[in-house]
Amino acid sequence: MTDLWRGVLYLHLLSMAFFVGGQLVFGLAVVPVLRDEGDRERMRAVARRFGYGSLIALGLLILTGWALASHFQLWGSSTLQLKLTLLAALIVVGLIHLRFGKAHALQGLILLLTLAIVWLGLRLATGG
Q: What is the DSSP letter of 77?
A: -
- Residue 12 sits in the site that holds ligand HEM (CB under 6 A): yes
Question: Total number of residues binding ligand HEM (CB under 6 A)?
Answer: 21
The rounded distance, in Å, linking the Cα atoms of 128 and 43 is 41
The single residue among 43, 87, 97, 107 that binds ligand HEM, judged by CB under 6 A, is: 87
Element (H, E) at 60: helix 40-71
| Nearer Cβ to ligand HEM (52/66) | 66
Which region, judged by CB under 6 A, interacts with ligand HEM, from 34-42, 48-56, 100-108, 114-122? Answer: 114-122
The rounded distance, in Å, linking the Cα atoms of 71 and 98 is 34
Instruction: Please tell me whether residue 126 adopts helix, strand or coil conformation.
Output: coil
The rounded distance, in Å, linking the Cα atoms of 55 and 40 is 22
The single residue among 43, 65, 94, 97 that binds ligand HEM, judged by CB under 6 A, is: 65
| Nearer Cβ to ligand HEM (31/62) | 62
Site string for ligand HEM, 20-59 (x = CB under 6 A): ----------------------------------------
Written as one letter, the residue type at 21 is: G
The single residue among 61, 94, 97, 107 that binds ligand HEM, judged by CB under 6 A, is: 61
The rounded distance, in Å, linking the Cα atoms of 73 and 82 is 16
